[in-house]
Amino acid sequence: MPKTATKPDPTVPISSVTFRDPPVPPKYDWPAIAAQLRERPGEWALVFKAGNASRVNAVRDGRIAAVHPDLGFEMTTVNNTRQSPRTCDLYLRFNPEKVKA
């Protein structure tokens, strides 16, 4: 018979901690990514897999200047998850016809 995990008693205060460094999130060189996309207009490029959806929202909302939609960058996502943490795969491409003057 399989063992069932016992849940901690929610009425007992937590009094111990684990010491470790926090995880370091990946950093993206957006100007370099934008330059690569401009070299191959119209081609989709995978920027990341299972990345944080908040970063995707920043790209979509134009908060990352190097790949701003007004500069001709288009994005799409696949493999979106709805549970926490929300993740997805981000694809970007450069479309010269979408550049706004």
Q: What is the C-alpha separation between 62 and 66, in angstroms, rounded?
A: 9
Strand partners, 78: 89
pLDDT number for residue 67: 98
Q: What is the C-alpha separation between 10 and 4, in angstroms, rounded?
A: 18
Domain boundaries, the chain: 30-96
Q: Using the predicted structure, report yes or no on whether residue 38 has a pLDDT greater than 90.
A: yes
Instruction: Give residue 10's pLDDT band: very low, low, confident or very high (50, 70, 90).
Output: confident
Instruction: Provide the H-helix boundaries in 8-97.
Output: 30-39, 53-60
Q: What is the mean pLDDT of residues 71-76?
A: 98
Give me Rg for the CA atoms of the chain.
Answer: 20
Q: What is the C-alpha separation between 66 and 47, in angstroms, rounded?
A: 14
Instruction: Give residue 44's pLDDT band: very low, low, confident or very high (50, 70, 90).
Output: very high
Q: What is the mean pLDDT of residues 55-77?
A: 97
Instruction: Give residue 60's pLDDT band: very low, low, confident or very high (50, 70, 90).
Output: very high
